[in-house]
Structure 1
Amino acid sequence: MQVVALLLTAALFGGMVFFSFGFAPVLFKLLGLEQTRPILRGTFPYYYLVVIGVAGAAALTAMSASLLGAALLGAICGSTIYARQVLMPRINAATDAGDTAGFKRLHGASVVLQLVQIAACAYALVLIT
């Protein structure tokens, strides 16, 4: 089970890092804001579902290797449910309403959450090994 947990956690970490520091920035660079915004808006719900599923599976399989690692992965799963179901709709609503200040605040919160999740995933990866 430890090998499965390790592979799932590594895939989660790699996917989160790639999406945050590879996919999204490249889209902005190549397409610009007006073309990138709808692509990301359409992509995020699926991205969050993948993170929820992989983090949940990783948490369950990691319990035999590291309870703290499993708890961190469970927290990633839970906080991503919050990001998908609560934070993302509020960010979209602020964007649609032209509420620049609200968008900046909510988007900033989502970025901080994502960075904390990436750090927690990296630490869980170390704990599982």
Structure 2
Amino acid sequence: MSTNLISLYIVAAMVGIMVFFTIAVAPTVFKVLPAEWSSKYVRSFFPKYYAFLCFTCIAASLLASDALISTLTFLCAILFAIAQFILTPAINKASDNKDKKHFGLLHGLSVVINVLQLGIFIYILWPSAS
């Protein structure tokens, strides 16, 4: 099995993780848990989510023999790091300060980045599907 194929499997796994979280985990947490608990859960979950996906992006980047795949997965790793170390603390601070406008903007930016990353992963996988 080529390292490029392993890289594509990693990208496919990241798509699965991201879609599962978006469709199953996040809506369930906010529907089932009280607001205080769901907030604590999300604050605990996201650093692990971003770190895991960042490191798996780096692995996919290093294993890819295709320069475009390597570059795109490394770019996604950088975006996960930005989300973890810059956006998440700012989102938490806005939430703590009950600054709904700032929270909404930052959260919206994190969603846009996540959708962009998912789009990049699907773009990477698309030619492999045929």
Q: TM-score, normalised by structure 2?
A: 0.91
Does residue 16 (structure 1) correspond to residue 1 (structure 2)? The answer is no
Which residues in structure 2 correspond to 1:48-67 (within 5 Å)? 48-62=50-64, 64=65, 66-67=66-67
Q: Could you say if the C-alpha distance between residues 49 and 118 of structure 1 is closer, same or farther in structure 2, counting changes exceeding 3 Å?
A: same
Contact 1:13 1:121 in 2 (8 A): yes
Question: Which residue in the other structure is 2:121 paired with?
Answer: 121
* RMSD of Structure 2 on Structure 1 (CA): 1.4
The alpha-carbon deviation at position 127 of structure 1 amounts to 4.6
Q: CA deviation at 1:4?
A: 1.1
Partner of 1:42: 44
Total equivalences in the alignment: 127
Deviation at 1:32, TM superposition (A): 4.0
Superposed displacement of residue 83, structure 1: 0.6
Aligned-pair CA distance for 1:34: 2.7
Residue in 2 that maps onto 1:68: 68
Q: Which runs of 4+ in 1 moved over 3 A?
A: none
Identity %: 35
Alignment partner, residue 30 of structure 2: 28
Unmatched 5+ stretches in structure 1: none
1:85 maps to 2:85: yes
Superposed CA offset, 1:29-51 (max 9, x none): 22243321110111100011101
Write the distance in 2 (CA, Å) between the matches of 1:118 and 1:21.
13
Deviations 1:109-129 (A, max 9, x none): 101111111111111123566
2:5 maps to which residue? Answer: 3
For structure 2, the 5+ residue unaligned runs are none
If the length of structure 1 is used for normalisation, what is the TM-score? 0.91
The structure whose RCO (Cα within 8 Å, separation 6+) is larger is 1
